[in-house]
Amino acid sequence: MSAPHVSASSVLPPAVPRLVRTTCPYCAVQCNFDLHIENNLPVKSTPTKECPVAHGTVCKKGLAALSDLRHPERLTTPLLRKNGQLVPVGWAEAMAYVREALTPMLAANPDAVGVYGSGSLTNEKTYLLGKFARLALKTANIDYNGRYCMASASTALNRTVGYDRGLGFPLSDMGTSDLIVLVGANIAETLPPIMQYLKAAKDRGALVYAIDPRATTTAKVAGKHLGIRPGSDGVLALGLLHLMKQWNKIRPTATAHGLTGVLWQADDYPPARVAHECGIPESEFMALAHAYANATKPLILTGRGAEQHAHGTDTVHALLNLAFLTGHFGKPGGGYGTLTGQGNGQGGREHGQKTDQLPGARSLRDPRHRAEIAALWDCDPADLPQPGKSAQELLNACGSDIEALIVLGSNPVVSAAGAGHVTERLRALKHLIVIDFLPSETAQLATLVLPGSMWCEEEGTTTNLEGRVQRRRKAITAPGAAREDWRILCDLAHAVGRPKGFEYATFRDLQDEFFRATRGGKADYSGLSAERLDRASAQWPVPHAAGPDTPYAYAPTYPTADGLATLHLPTLPAFTAAPQSSKLALTLTTGRLGNQYQSGTQTRRNAGLRAENTAQMHPDTARQHGLKAGDAVTLRTAHGSTTLPVSLTPGIRPDTVFLPFHWPDTANLLTDHHTLDPHSKMPAFKATPVTLHPAHAAELANEPMRGVGQPVMR
């Protein structure tokens, strides 16, 4: 629609300031705040106490988010690579490139085109991306960066009780727990607003344990810390189950398959073995066991520290088995939950961008599910591809099986395991099309960059870590020639000559179709609408417009073939003692810093969110290697090397080195891109053998992107 004509003599009235309530672009708490808009620019954000989750709190990242909207590097026009350089072009030329590049490839072999999505997308964009891949491109090869976040816990929950809602209860229930066990979950830095619930539990007398190789900020607030060896969380769970069995604390939540075998397996994990394999004093393990046995509402919460391993799914199985067999799973204030990380990590894994999934958390392998979605999309079920490659497999195949890749809202050059290898694979593609709003390191490799929309420039819904669906409201329009992401996906479908199903007149048409697409699925949102969400948020499933939502998701019977849960025997590696030598065998683990987020595309550019990129190690470890604070150290694994300054961290295990993963050319250069969890396809981010080598200061100075970087398009 063209803008109304205004004559030169017309005097426009000043724009009326307005308020728009929306959701934060960062973590899965999904705090609400009001944006104060003047002349199509947000000038201030105000937290609202009406937020159903954070109740008026917003972390530093959320408060600093407005700076990203006005960043000088904001992408505002398509960029096409010509003679090795990305140069501005119009949308017509950009779409002509897409047509010429992809149409012959799709005709010959659709699976040669891959799609890579994001846990930051709204539910509607997640749905549309999956539809675009399967209906317009007809490719099997779509997955997303959430594979690196929640996949192990999601897989274990699905295998056990038939579906996956990270927290099957409201966050407020944390305040009623009398024991909270945080397993690899540093919520003070990754999900700060949740700390109010942790403190509420402590104020009521609850014990809080942090199970982590580092004494994180969360561990210090918790008050109880077990610094176990990276990856030994599942052994700890089996040891606890062993003692619960000995102490007659077994009272299963419900009848389930596999009970007997799981209990027999626990016999092999007495306290002495657990203490040895976890690398902790037996007395500390026994104190945790007594606390769990005596608690009436014990709650186990896992984060990425427990899940990002080649045995991550089995670790979660061990913890789920413990909660289920002691009768706490699915009960208010107790049981088990997993803390989703990305802003829409929950909704992002429910509606079709996972390689094996259709909307509503349906299975692409299920003939009935395929038929339901094919009827909505007006296609033959046989035309829907079968599942393709998972995220790491997809990236590893670039330049060989995968000849073209479309990336929406993700930066795998930084976030993927084996980042050096992934960068080489992306460079080997014939076509790399990136949709983003800032020039990420992945966008810098692209053959075509399409300028997309930011969080307050689009409508949609997001689903937080407790399955709570909320509205994200459009407050301003995207700058320059940037377009809303959903429109770009429709443009791409038209460019490849397959517009059917991508001809929405308005966003509301897309949103209403999305809600309908979930009807009858496990993640059923069909009772929702923009109007209902204006009145109140809702926790799925919500199958009826006039019916209630579902705050408690995991009460029997379960959405399985016979309504019963299935407990699985976890397969865990044996953790042996380190060889005797003058220097400990070291393990690299990775994670987040409070002032940074994911691959850092936004936060590294934000002057209000500065953080140091250092190699954190115990003072004794540094001393053994002739290092002191600030010295340059080269870290080497079988997969790569990097050089960073040393920071001394007394609360970390002496056999462990920690690197944050927000910067390129650091943490994920060293992680393994080959070894994947057999169930979830999660790479082994959290435990990589590493060696340390003192480096010259000159080597540190030459390391690219150290500290707070501001990459530019090349």
Q: Per-residue pLDDT tens for 203-215?
A: 999 999 999 999 9
* SS3 of residue 192 by DSSP: helix
**Residues of each domain in the chain carrying CATH 3.40.50.740:** 79-149+347-539
pLDDT(662) > 90? no
Instruction: Tell me where in the chain the CATH 3.40.228.10 domain(s) lie.
Output: 152-338
| Domain covering 152-338 assigned CATH 3.30.565.10 in the classification | no
Residue identified by tokens 């035309």 is 383
The alpha carbon dihedral of 176, 181, 185, 186 has a sign of positive
The pLDDT mean for the chain works out to: 92
Residues recorded for the chain: 714
**What letters, b where the CB count within 10 A reaches 16 and e where it falls short, cover 449-473?**
bbbbbbbbbbbbbbbbbbbbbbbbb
79-149+347-539 CATH fold: Rossmann fold (3.40.50)
Q: Is the pLDDT of residue 40 over 90?
A: no
- Is this model's pTM higher than 0.75 or not? yes
Q: CATH second-level architecture of 18-69?
A: Single Sheet (2.20)
Cis status, amide bond into 557, omega within 30 of 0: yes
| Token representation of residue 83 | 């003679």
Residue 704 has pLDDT above 70, yes or no: no
**Residues in contact with 345: Cβ distance below 8 Å, sequence separation at least 6, in sequence order:** 28, 119, 146, 149, 150, 166, 465
Rounded distance between C-alpha atoms, residue 626 and residue 620, angstroms: 10
For residue range 522-568, what is the model confidence (pLDDT) as tens digits?
Answer: 999 999 999 999 999 999 999 999 999 999 999 999 999 999 999 99
With a cut of 80, say whether residue 349 has pLDDT above it. yes
Residue 3 confidence (pLDDT) above 70: no
The per-residue pLDDT for range 233-275, each reduced to its tens digit, is 999 999 999 999 999 999 999 999 999 999 999 999 999 999 9
CA gap 349, 9 in Å, rounded? 53
> What are the Cα distances from residue 530, in Å, to 45, 470, 509, 533?
22, 9, 12, 5
Q: How far apart are CA 355 and CA 147, in angstroms?
A: 10
Name 197's bridge partners: none
pLDDT in tens, 380-390: 999 999 999 99
Q: Specify the pLDDT at position 578.
A: 52
The predicted pLDDT at position 700 comes to: 60
Q: Which CATH architecture has domain 586-702?
A: Beta Barrel (2.40)
**Could you tell me where in the chain the CATH 2.40.40.20 domains are found?**
586-702
CATH 2.20.25.90 domain locations along the chain:
18-69
What is the reported pLDDT for 583?
63
Which residues make beta-bridge pairs with 143? 116
Over residues 160-219, the pLDDT tens digits come to: 999 999 999 999 999 999 999 999 999 999 999 999 999 999 999 999 999 999 999 999
